[in-house]
Amino acid sequence: MLLAIDVGNTNITIGVFQEKELVSTFRMTTKLQRTSDEFGITISDMLEYNQIQISDIQDAIVSSVVPNIMHSLRSGLIKYFNIRPMIVEPGIRTGIRITSENPPQIGADRIVDAVGAYEQYGGPVIVVDYGTATTYDFVDEKGDFFAGVTAPGIRISAQALWQDAAKLPEIEIKKPDHILARETISSMQAGLIYGQIGQTEYIIKHMIQESKLKNVKVVATGGLGKIIAGETECIDYYNPNLTLEGMRLIYEKQNR
């Protein structure tokens, strides 16, 4: 079995693959400082709770946008699983060519998403990831990652509302019944969700127009992506496991 670990700014998402099948997923928060022992024990306990034996894990791949936890995470995998994980970093074979002006600045998460979308849906394709940030990444028909847009994520926008406006409460992020809100909570929900839908449609429209590419597919991922994908016709596919699947595809390209 392959352990795929996606370290995001908010959560660490872990997937377990049996060959090409994703058999289990679970999450832990990124914010906590953990030692190598805490990483090893926590991941081991989660696997056992999901009825997966530690001895069945044969290899691991890690994609991270949080450098300061990598030493402890890597050490935990070595100590508790006897595995030296593959790290998604410059030099690894992905099948995607980065043609933007500064390739090293492209986050591992965006590269992994691009690989997952291009390999599964073909190009040209725009990948929209509704994570801590909302990112829009463009891969052409040849597999060249050539452009991207980065915007504040839905949760960041929500936190800015209730942290910086004294009278606005912390709210659940969900689509309200109506956009014509008549009280504070639903008015905030309307602004967040419909504002994100409008942003999504505008950015995708102009990315396609400026690229002059035809038959562009749009794939959404990320936890809150399901809400947005169901409300706009500009998104063709919603794949909540796109990042993990991209990591599996990159792992397979290394002939390990």
| Residues recognised as catalytic | 109
Query: What does the block give as tokens for 53?
Result: 């034996």
Q: How far apart are CA 232 and CA 208, in angstroms?
A: 16
Q: How far apart are CA 204 and CA 212, in angstroms?
A: 12
Q: How far apart are CA 252 and CA 256, in angstroms?
A: 7
Burial status of residue 255 (CB atoms within 10 A of its CB: 0-12, 13-18, 19 or more) = exposed
Q: How far apart are CA 76 and CA 208, in angstroms?
A: 43
